[in-house]
């Protein structure tokens, strides 16, 4: 039986976004999952997948730790001798990709978002991308911007496929009836609480909107990547500007309660936040950036605002608030249809299976 290894920085990455693919692969191949241990791994090991616990500091910038990680990947891949490796997110894709290239092991890269850099660090990152991805069997691109940048970097020498992000499980994230008609309007923010996710603009928008619309509720879901925001959110909660709801393992009940999501991120591969809210019939207000705009039809399934622009965001929020209940509800219905037609996770699974069959035949 041929062996497929999947490498990710978190168990949630496998469980939330790759479950369908992993279980499908497990029918015909030996599947080995590599990441730091988390409770979600048990779901896969109970179904026959193997697991190897390997610590990955996905945001760390210590070069010595990264060299250790590269060596760990080398030992692991030499020992396991997989027939192909599937990598997810930046560090596994770059470092495990480099090792696979050296060892002549086929690998498929799903980067899920370039790292935004400037100056000398940008030059360094582009060098890493070349080293990590030049020998890939296939690059899976989640948006056209990512595809164009990386293909140019790799001189169009690497085979690629366009995919709709991780897709969304439209059976798990079912369409739900729009909240009952009343005066309250609930907006969700679902992301890490850190500057690059647009939390500063979201909080300022909430402050301004609450001055005019006391019936609007701004809920924040996510972990603190930057402790700087803890005290800020605590104070804004006291002032009744926002509600901090922590990290929720299951967002579906909270998506069902909301009227729309606001996603002000500066950069995304393809945002699952928009896909999941849309699948459940909720309009999305998001940054006009690659990885967000693909999931939103401006004025039809939601609204797009300029990234890092509070006034643009406020204009969109005001526009949405002033829509009739029926128009808000209809936006959500159209968002669901868009997900069914363009972002069903089975589309992603089928693309992977097709590529794997070509490589492993």
DSSP category for residue 83: S
The predicted structure's pLDDT at residue 61: 65
DSSP category for residue 48: T
Q: What is the residue extent of each domain of the chain?
A: 3-167+344-360, 185-342
The predicted structure's pLDDT at residue 30: 98
Q: What phi and psi, each to the nearest 5 degrees, are found at residue 281?
A: 85, 35
The predicted structure's pLDDT at residue 55: 86
Identify the architecture of domain 3-167+344-360 in CATH.
3-Layer(aba) Sandwich (3.40)
CB atoms within 10 A of CB 211: 9
Alpha helices in the chain (DSSP H): 11-17, 19-25, 41-45, 63-80, 90-91, 97-103, 119-133, 144-153, 199-212, 228-238, 252-257, 272-279, 310-321, 325-342, 345-360
DSSP code string of 222-255: --BSSTHHHHHHHHHHHTTS-EE----S--HHHH
The predicted structure's pLDDT at residue 117: 67
The predicted structure's pLDDT at residue 261: 99
The predicted structure's pLDDT at residue 113: 58
Contacts of 211 by beta carbon, 8 Å cutoff, 6+ apart? none
CB atoms within 10 A of CB 5: 25
pLDDT, tens digit only, all 361 positions of the chain? 999 999 999 999 999 899 999 999 999 999 999 999 999 999 999 999 999 999 887 555 678 888 999 999 999 999 999 999 999 988 899 999 999 999 999 999 997 556 666 778 788 888 999 999 999 999 999 999 999 999 999 999 999 999 999 999 999 999 999 999 999 999 999 999 999 999 999 999 999 999 999 999 999 999 998 899 999 999 999 999 999 999 998 999 999 999 999 999 998 889 999 999 999 999 999 999 999 999 999 999 999 999 999 999 999 999 999 999 999 999 999 999 999 999 999 999 999 999 999 999 8
Is residue 110 within 8 Å of residue 137, measured between CB atoms? Answer: no
Contacts of 360 by beta carbon, 8 Å cutoff, 6+ apart? 2, 83, 84, 106
The predicted structure's pLDDT at residue 226: 86
Topology alike, domains 3-167+344-360 and 185-342: yes
The predicted structure's pLDDT at residue 206: 99
The verdict on domain 185-342 having CATH code 3.40.50.2000 is: yes
Distance CA 112, CA 348 (A): 13
Do the strands 302-305 and 216-221 form a parallel or antiparallel pair, or are they unpaired? unpaired
């Amino acid at each position: 039986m041929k062996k497929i290894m999947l490498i990710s920085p978190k168990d949630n990455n496998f469980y939330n976004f790759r479950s369908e693919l992993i279980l499908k692969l497990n029918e015909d191949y030996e599947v080995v999952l590599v990441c730091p241990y988390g409770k979600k791994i048990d779901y896969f090991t109970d179904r026959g997948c193997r697991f190897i616990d390997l610590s990955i500091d996905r945001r760390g910038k210590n070069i010595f730790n990264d060299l250790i990680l590269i060596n760990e990947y080398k030992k692991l891949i030499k020992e396991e001798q997989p027939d192909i490796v599937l990598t997810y997110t930046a560090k596994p894709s770059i470092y495990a990709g480099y090792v696979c290239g050296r060892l002549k092991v086929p690998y498929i890269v799903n980067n899920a978002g370039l790292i935004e850099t400037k100056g000398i660090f940008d030059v360094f990152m582009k060098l890493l991308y070349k080293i990590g991805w030049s020998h890939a069997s296939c690059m899976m691109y989640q948006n056209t911007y990512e595809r164009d940048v990386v293909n140019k970097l790799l001189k169009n020498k690497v085979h690629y496929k366009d995919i709709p992000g991780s897709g969304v499980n439209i059976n798990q994230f079912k369409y739900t009836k729009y909240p009952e008609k009343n005066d309250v309007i609930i907006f969700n923010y679902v992301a890490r609480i850190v500057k690059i996710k647009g939390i500063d603009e979201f909080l300022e928008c909430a402050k301004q909107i609450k001055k005019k619309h006391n019936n609007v509720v701004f809920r924040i879901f996510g972990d603190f990547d930057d402790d700087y925001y803890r005290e800020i959110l605590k104070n804004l909660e006291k002032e009744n500007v926002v509600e901090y709801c922590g990290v929720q393992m299951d967002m579906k009940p909270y998506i069902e309660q909301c009227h729309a999501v606001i996603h002000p991120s500066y950069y995304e591969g393809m945002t699952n936040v928009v896909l999941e809210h849309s699948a459940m019939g909720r309009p999305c207000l998001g940054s006009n950036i690659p990885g967000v705009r693909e999931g939103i039809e401006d004025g039809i399934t939601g609204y797009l605002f300029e990234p890092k622009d509070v006034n643009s965001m406020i204009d969109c929020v005001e526009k949405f608030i002033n829509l009739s209940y029926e128009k808000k509800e209809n936006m959500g219905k159209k968002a669901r249809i868009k997900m069914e037609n363009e972002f069903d996770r089975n589309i992603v699974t089928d693309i992977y299976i097709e590529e794997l069959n070509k490589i492993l035949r």
